[in-house]
Amino acid sequence: MINDIKQDAEARMKKTLESLQTNFHKIRTGRAHPTILDSVTVEYYGAQMPLNQVASVNVEDARTLAVVPWEKSMVPKVEKAIMTSDLGLNPATAGSVIRVPMPALTEETRRGYIKQARGEAENARVAVRNVRRDANSDIKALLKDKSITEDDEHQGEEAIQKLTDKYVAEIDKLLEAKEHDLLQV
């Protein structure tokens, strides 16, 4: 029973880590990377579709993305979707290719992005701690039902704490890497 709780907690903590990585991809570093546009959705025949399902997104050079919609009629819609996204990008259309230059980051915007990254990391830490709280309350419920002994409860809580420490350390490592990335000129 405790192993089931531990496995569930680990799976949930892993999902939190994956979510943090996805959120970090949305924070620009000044270099062109196709995942920056992952959050952009385009209206495609009445339905909202992710950009990568209606166009190919490639890195043209270190500071430019090239977006090529699969249908020529989609070019204006894709350009508008990129422009209206909250990423602060200004695409330029040349025929059927949409070029998205990455604006250079100023010191002020770098600091703002670092602050945003730290906020995302803190939210992830809180989520991991919430998973720990849920797992510990499940273990206490088992003890209350007399399904496990107090020793089992103590060992289970220790295992959950070790998991929590491991994932918080992973979050800190990801944050450090993102900050390093943002501070590179």
The per-residue pLDDT for range 49-73, each reduced to its tens digit, is 888 888 888 888 878 888 899 888 8
Residue 16's alpha-carbon distances to 28, 83, 92, 117, 125, in angstroms, are: 20, 29, 36, 15, 9
Chain centroid to CA 60? 24
Give the tokens for residue 140. Answer: 């206490």
Confidence (pTM): 0.72
Domains along the sequence of the chain with CATH: 2-25+106-183 (1.10.132.20), 31-101 (3.30.1360.40)
The answer to whether 38 and 32 are in contact (CB under 8 A) is: no
- pLDDT tens-place string over residues 98-149: 888 887 778 888 888 889 899 999 999 999 999 999 999 999 998 888 888 8
Residue 153: both structure tokens together: 């409860």
